[in-house]
Structure 1
Amino acid sequence: MFDYYDDFNRREALKENFNSNALMLYALELRFGIDDIFDVAVDSLTDGSDDKKCDLIYIDKDLGIAVVGQAYMKKKANKDVAAPANKASDLNTAAAWLFAQSTTEIPSAIADRANELREGIKEGNINQVLFWYVHNCNESANTMIAQELETVQKSAQLLVNDCAGESNTVKVIAQEIGNETIEEWYEESDKRISINDHIEVDSIDKGFEIQSEKWNSYVTAVKGTWLASLLKKYKPEKLFSGNLREFLGAGKRKNKINLGMIETVNSQPENFWAFNNGVTALVNDYDIKSGNKLYVKGITIINGAQTTGAIAQSNSKKEFLIPIRFIVCHDSDVIDDIINNNNKQTEVLSSDLRSNDKQQKRLRKEFEEYPGYYYSGGRRTDRKTRKKDVFEPYMVAQVVEAFHGDCVIAYNEKKSLWSDDKRYVSVFTDNLHAEHIIFLYSLTRAISDYKKFLLEKGDDRTPVDNNNFNYLKKRGARMLLIKVIGISIECILGNDRNLDSWKLSFKKNDNFERLVSLWKPVVVMTLKMGSKELLPVIENGGLRSIKEAECAGTKIRDIISAFSEAVSMQVKDFRDNVDTRDLRRR
């Protein structure tokens, strides 16, 4: 019996909403530490009627990865039951449609995600494409699966190389994600250090120790070949389990710094020490034995993933030195601070680095008033929060920015809402409270639920349904719709006066599903009245122009105002349950 079974079986909402795809989403959540898997699911799952063997297309440009998934769920699986190999070979079909077919021939079910994937690869924002065959059987039960996936990996790599061009390097990996792998990810999901081996360090046999009340550290230098050997021996997700990111590759744009490190290793390794800031590793313990030999127990590289990856990718046999410090700490809060502060020097800022900001501390405290909800404020989510409604920090920033500010930035530059100081303070203002976040987050969930409802309706969709579904499949559709509702909110509420939209909340906030249901008539009504205005804004290349978005929003607001009596009947429950006063001063 695998331990992950019990945890997965407790995820009733996940199973009820996504059926045979639930385990694949669960695996995705574990592998990439996703907070709000429901939000990811609606954007990443495909329309099954013509998905060309792509059950899922997940794209994360921040991590530089894409996952193309096929799912299989056996109702009564045991160790003797094998997953079918043909589902693995289906990924060849998926690869061909995603990377070889003309864009005009790709079915609408996957067209937008396929185009986004191709663009991400060409622009150097996707460095790794993972083809997953996810099932609930033992991986050793059918040896044919490994052979099929090897074929998938080879053929897909050729197709992706053609798509990437000569200037970008994209790695393709085809993986079987069965019981053993899911169990491994489950066990690692709340661990900082996943590697527990005793490791001899190939160092200069010199160094010095620094001790503190809550941590101690040994500082030395290691050979580049030793560091590279760690990445060749251990999986990246294990070696970098405590890091904010894994190795991002060496593409010509986003990861040109990594490309520069590879060139330094190859052309002037003697200068690498002077050019590089070094590596920080978290370990369970270290031991300096006679002869100054250094040994560590357990390791995760918390700063230096790009350095480690670049050295490994260079395949250099030349010897050169890298500064390194090994830190032992058993205080989880201090570990968080060590990780966060060590990564402030990297190119990509993360929401983790804002976790101790006064606004995030305040919002976390406000969310404590709602036991069924969880908002991390940039801190990592542990497994226990899966029983709650999770408010994912990046999505929180996106919906606030889309509703009150610029939906184009909210969609295209979500990371900047946390990393750029000016944008951060415009989103996380003193006016933003937990109740308003709940108000807006339930709106984005209502849009996702409506899209899912239309997807499942399939051939039973009416012409109006098809118009709405075709719109919601477009890139940026959700953020644009949130912006339009933000522009129209006074008319929707039947209040033409100057309304402070930051004060909007529901009168009662403790039942999230009920709040989502209150928004649904608003979402459906806005789409029906505004689909002709909305679609042109995102039809060619996604959401790009805030001017066009605001123009469409103004027109839709005027339409809603003109049909105020009909609107009033459709959104009566919503109006009755919204409070326009400042909740914190009532």
Structure 2
Amino acid sequence: MNKQADLTFKDLQSEIKELSSRFNRFKDDDLFVLWFLRAYITETEEAAADAITGGSNDKGVDALLVDHAAQCVFVVQGKYRQALGSKSEPRSEVMAFLDLAAFLNSWPDNDCMAYLKTADEAVAERLREARNAVQKHGYDTRLFFVTTGKVSPTVRDDAMTQVRQVSKKARIEIIDSHRAMLLFRDYLDGVAPPIPSADLEMEAGAGIQVNGISQRFDHNTGVESWVFSMRGAAVAEIFEKSGLRLFARNIRGYMGEKTSVNQGMVATLESEPEKFFFYNNGITIVCDAAERKGAQGRDLLRVDNPQIINGQQTTRTLAAHAKLAEKASVLVKVIVVPRDNNQRDGFDGLISAIVAGTNWQNAIKQSDLMSNDRRQIEIERAFRKVGYMYLRKRQSKGETRRAIGRGQYRVITKEELAQAVAGCELDPTIIRSGREKLFSEQYYNTVFPNSDADFYLPKYWLMREVSWSSKGKPERAYAKWLVLNSLWTRIEPLLRGAHRLRSFRKICESQLRDGVVPLSKVIDLSFIEALRFFRDSRGSGESAIDVSAFFKSRKGLEKEFSKFIKAGPESRRKTFENALVAFKAAVDNFES
């Protein structure tokens, strides 16, 4: 399919440079920290940018975020070295950063006041707010030392020990060059920010006897697996804490309660919850690491960077009926996938195979399997920047409404986008044979060659205008893909350059009369000519071809249509050319 080469440090540098186009007030070092915040902590770039401190006398605080929802203070120090893994960070710098854990948690007020005397006032004010959140409201403390260099194991262990001694609610994570590149890959794959960890509580008690759990380690692949049961309420609690990020690697969104499978789960919860375990396929979770722990008499499996890749419908249904879920049990499979290097094939190949092999209760389409392809994620991000919500995952309408808010984005599905590109670029018979075919290996890279919004959106809007012109007119509906293909061939040369492409998009978005009227005339003339072409070419008598069959099954029809137009009367061609000239003038004269 759309295979990407293994990531290099240059790819990360390019991503950080791209951030400067939107946040040009920051230097590269700050942009690196901004990227880390977005990749690992915050939901938006704007929240990450607000956390950046910048300037001198910052006490080693490059970013500080007080997250009231998570009841946590995040403090980041970044080291953006220009050669990946080439420099070892000095022990003194790492240990000096740890003073912030003591400042927030344990130092007396007098010591804190003395510490802030030499700090930049803006940084000092943020630190006071953070200390207040920790001291008076019990917020957790999370320190992150992030570098594209190296940190020795000894320094790492000593730092973690020292922070634990300050407070049980304080932790430090040291992200080195290797870990940073893994985060970068997750970021590009749409798993950002990830869920650092989750505790899966194994089922016990309440009349249930569990004689151990199944743990398996494959020495050939390095893959470790765990299989056990959980109470439905415990599964619901994980979703309540983690939210939709838990399903970032899932190929679909939530399909809603109206599907037959989800309705069946609700019915089981209501009438015979004790049998839910037997009827349900269970949940499959992939993660980076897993460790069995005990806490307050509970048996837990702590998983790092967990993702539910099969069982979203089950998880969401249990969460929506948490009270009923208390009496239900679910089978859980946890797979620890090794990520010792930055290569995609082993990790992604296994994830894809697991997804395809386990998601069968709701039918999987070819387009579903491509929903987490990196190109789809890149398109989603590019579209968001120009005000479009790109739905790369199949989901319910209610889920979509929750995602976009009220009137904030225009919505396009990946299937619609595929139709628009294929309709403009490929033989019309291909698109009329079914849009799922466009996600096959044969056509995918042709339909989705890049992530440039200016490549896709003009085609999408032309498809919209052509479709609108065919509504309520059956013959036009059959001819629309031929008309779209023919029109794009004529219009594309008039839209050369990013400025014209964007002007055309904005004319269509705003339905500007000076632009859409000449465009509508061009479209109407094309439909009239296409139906003339059909009547001239369909034959007569018993051998006459039906309008549907004519436009659906004949390959190379667009070439025949082009010849038909050229062979037609000069007056008709002149009328069409005049309409094109008026359309081009509207695009050229458009002022955004």
Task: State the TM bucket, normalised to the shorter chain.
Answer: 0.3 to 0.5
* TM, length-normalised to structure 2: 0.41
* TM, length-normalised to structure 1: 0.42
